Amino acid sequence: MKSDWEDAIPSLSEISITSNPNNQPVTIHGSSPNLRCVGVGTDAAVFQYIHTPVYAFKIYAADKTDKIKVEAEVYRRLGESPFFPTCYAANDQYLVLSFEQGTTLFDCLLQGIHIPQQVVQDVDEAREYARQRSLNPRDIHLKNILLQNGRAKIIDVSEYVQPGNDYRWEHTKKAYQYYHLIDGKSVPFWLVETVRKWYHQRNSHFASFDEFIESVLKLTAFRK
């Protein structure tokens, strides 16, 4: 029996994705009036088919398609969970996922939308849930977490089979201790981007994460 998401196949065939060097976002080639781009990453772009909007199609760059089976397996092991999207299907070009409403925490900062403590608790629970299924929840950051009806939804699980701890969530949670200083305020894009770039270069410029945080606080205070 044909699944309703398959109605999107002709439109999806009009799209191709190429990756870019230096971990830059992918480039999208082609277009379709039936598709709406809802996200762009370094390996893939995500589209919503306007006639069946409950689905999201994560189309991978041609040289990144080996990650599709890996991510599909992660979703299989996660099963049904309130913390993660549902994966309905996978082929050699894309994943078919549940479309998740919400605002990324990154955009919450830009728009001054309150991020409740419950979100932090949810992510901690989600990570423990993933560990119980022999996965390694990592690469969890502001652009990978949606604020959805006051709760957290994690929308990228592609690195959960990789070893090691990248500490991105631990650092995000530690930074949340200072969130009250900007809660309810729209943070300028240039400031968020500056902090993001500093974070990726912190090992070269800061002796510790605490020193990085102190520098961010000084920058914020200076620019007020």
pLDDT at 223 over 60: no
User: Exposed e or buried b for every residue in 160-170, given b needs 16+ CB within 10 A?
Assistant: bbeeeeeebbe
Q: Domain spans of the chain? A: 4-98, 103-222
Tell me what the pLDDT averaged over the chain comes to.
92
Q: Between 94 and 2, name the one with better pLDDT.
A: 94
The beta strands (E) that lie in 41-182 are given as 44-49, 55-60, 87-90, 94-98, 103-104, 145-148, 151-154
- The sign of the dihedral angle between the CA atoms of 85, 88, 92, 93 is negative
**Backbone dihedral angles phi then psi of residue 76, each to the nearest 5 degrees:** -60, -45
CATH 3.30.565.10 given to domain 4-98: no
pLDDT at 224 over 90: no
pLDDT at 1 over 70: no
Token digits of residue 137: 């929840």
Class of domain 103-222: mainly alpha
pLDDT at 222 over 60: no
Instruction: Kindly report, residue by residue over 7-57, the tens digit of the pLDDT.
Output: 999 999 999 999 999 878 999 999 999 999 999 989 999 999 999 999 999
Residue 157: partners with Cβ closer than 8 Å, 6 or more residues away: 71, 74, 75, 78, 84, 130, 135, 137
